[in-house]
C-alpha cells in the first residue's frame, strides 16, 4: 500500500478526468492509470468505471471517498503531532526535588540554566521524602535531595554544599556561641546527615541545651528572624536570608559539611547537561562566600 495511491484516487474522483487529474498531480496519465489499478488491486474492489466516454465512480468508489479523506487526515495529523512532539518535548526533563532545594537553590539556578539551554524544558515536582524511590521507579528524570540514596538501581553523586555556619538573630550578635546555646532554642534536623553529631557535641558543652526538630529550612529561617532560635545551616544561605539574621563560623563544635545528592536512572544528553550545570552552580555559589 502506497499513500500516494489514495491522494491520486481523491484527485481523480474530484475531476473524473484522467487528463485534468494528471495535470493537478504533475503525473503522466499512464502513471495515474497504474496507481489507480494498484489501489483497486490492493482493495480488491473496482473504484471507477467508464460509461461511454465518461469516467464515473462505482458504488464502492463513492463510499471510499470519506474513508480516504479520514485516512489521509489521520496520517497528516499524526505526522504533525510527532514532529511537534520531537521539537518541543524531546528535551523535556522532569525534576523531583525537596522543598529546601526548590526554595533556596532552584530559583537561582534555573534562570542561568534556561539561558544556557533554552531548548530544554523542565517541570519541577516538590516531594516530601522518597525522592530516590521515585527516581528508581522511573517517575522522574532527575532527583535532587539532601538525603543520601541507598540503592544501587540509580546513579547518584554527592555535591558538596560547603561549610556549615551558625545562624542567629541579629540581636544576639554580642553573645558567644555557648551563651547562644544557653539562651536560645537550637533548631535542629533540617539536614538528614550532620545533625546527630552536632547535637551530641553541643550537649557535651551545654547539657541543658534545648533542641527543637524543625526539618523545614524556611520555617527555621523565619523562627531565627523572629528571635526564636538558632541553627547550623549551609554558609551560602547568608545571601538568601533577611538582614535580621547574622552568621558566624563555629569555634566550639566540629564544623560539618553539607551535601546535596543529584540522582538519575534514565540517561540522556539533557540529563547529563542538567547534572553538570547544577554541580557547577553549587561550586560557584560557594566561591561567592
Q: CATH number of the domain that 97 lies in?
A: 3.40.190.10
Cβ atoms 136, 153 nearer than 8 A: yes
Last residue of a domain, one of 87, 109, 130: 87
Give the C-alpha separation, 82 to 119, whole Å: 17
> What pLDDT, on the 0 to 100 scale, is given for residue 168?
95
What's the number of domains the chain is made of? Answer: 3
Banded model confidence at residue 161, pLDDT cuts 50, 70, 90: confident
Banded model confidence at residue 83, pLDDT cuts 50, 70, 90: low
Global pTM?
Answer: 0.61
Same domain, yes or no: 46 and 181: no
Given a cut of 50, whether residue 74 has pLDDT beyond it is yes
Mean pLDDT computed over 222-251: 88
Banded model confidence at residue 289, pLDDT cuts 50, 70, 90: low
Using a 10 angstrom Cβ sphere, with 0-12 exposed, 13-18 middle and 19 or more buried, the burial of residue 161 is buried
Same domain, yes or no: 171 and 229: yes
Q: Which of 91, 134, 132 is nearest to 114 (CA)?
A: 91
Same domain, yes or no: 81 and 209: no
Same domain, yes or no: 282 and 267: yes
Same domain, yes or no: 189 and 268: no
> What pLDDT, on the 0 to 100 scale, is given for residue 89?
45
Classify each residue of 76-92 as buried b or exposed e, where b means 16 or more C-beta atoms within 10 Å of its C-beta: eeeeeeeeeeeeeeebe
Last residue of a domain, one of 44, 61, 87: 87
Helices (H), the chain: 3-15, 18-25, 29-43, 59-89, 99-100, 106-116, 131-136, 177-183, 195-205, 217-225, 269-287
Same domain, yes or no: 126 and 239: no
**Cell 532545594 -> residue:** 101
Same domain, yes or no: 139 and 273: yes
Same domain, yes or no: 75 and 193: no
- Which tens digit of pLDDT belongs to each residue from 209-231? 999 999 888 899 999 999 999 99
Range of the structural domain that residue 96 is part of: 92-157+259-287
> What pLDDT, on the 0 to 100 scale, is given for residue 1?
59
Last residue of a domain, one of 39, 55, 87: 87
Same domain, yes or no: 148 and 263: yes
Same domain, yes or no: 61 and 82: yes
Share of the chain above pLDDT 70, in %: 96
Cβ atoms 59, 22 nearer than 8 A: no
Mean pLDDT computed over 121-139: 90
CATH number at residue 15: 1.10.10.10
Same domain, yes or no: 232 and 106: no
Share of the chain above pLDDT 90, in %: 57
Same domain, yes or no: 40 and 103: no
Give the C-alpha separation, 102 to 271, whole Å: 18
Amino acid at each position: 500500500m502506497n499513500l500516494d495511491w489514495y491522494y491520486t484516487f481523491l484527485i481523480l474522483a474530484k475531476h473524473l478526468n484522467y487528463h485534468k487529474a494528471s495535470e493537478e498531480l504533475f503525473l503522466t496519465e499512464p502513471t495515474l492509470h497504474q496507481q489507480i489499478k494498484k489501489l483497486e488491486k490492493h482493495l480488491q474492489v473496482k473504484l471507477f468505471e467508464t460509461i461511454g466516454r465518461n469516467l464515473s465512480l462505482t458504488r464502492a468508489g463513492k463510499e471510499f471517498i470519506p474513508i480516504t479523506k479520514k485516512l489521509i487526515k489521520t496520517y497528516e495529523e499524526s505526522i504533525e503531532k510527532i514532529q511537534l512532539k520531537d521539537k518541543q518535548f524531546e528535551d523535556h526533563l522532569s525534576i523531583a526535588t525537596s522543598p529546601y532545594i526548590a526554595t533556596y537553590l532552584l530559583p537561582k539556578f534555573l534562570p542561568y540554566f534556561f539561558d544556557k539551554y533554552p531548548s530544554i524544558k523542565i517541570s519541577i515536582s516538590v516531594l516530601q521524602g522518597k525522592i530516590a524511590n521515585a527516581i528508581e521507579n522511573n517517575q522522574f528524570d532527575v532527583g535532587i535531595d539532601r538525603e543520601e540514596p541507598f540503592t544501587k538501581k540509580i546513579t547518584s553523586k554527592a555535591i558538596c554544599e560547603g561549610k556549615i555556619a551558625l545562624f542567629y538573630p541579629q540581636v544576639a550578635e554580642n553573645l558567644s556561641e555557648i551563651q547562644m546555646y544557653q539562651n536560645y532554642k537550637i533548631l535542629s534536623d533540617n539536614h538528614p546527615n550532620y545533625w546527630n553529631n552536632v547535637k551530641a557535641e553541643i550537649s557535651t558543652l551545654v547539657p541543658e541545651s534545648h533542641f527543637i526538630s524543625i526539618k523545614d529550612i524556611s520555617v527555621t529561617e523565619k523562627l531565627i528572624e523572629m528571635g526564636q532560635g538558632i541553627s547550623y545551616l549551609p554558609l551560602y544561605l547568608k545571601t538568601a536570608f533577611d538582614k535580621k539574621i547574622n552568621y558566624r563560623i563555629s569555634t566550639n563544635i566540629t564544623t560539618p559539611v553539607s551535601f546535596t545528592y543529584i540522582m538519575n536512572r534514565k540517561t540522556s544528553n539533557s540529563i547529563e547537561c542538567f547534572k553538570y550545570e547544577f554541580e557547577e552552580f553549587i561550586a560557584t555559589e560557594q566561591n561567592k562566600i
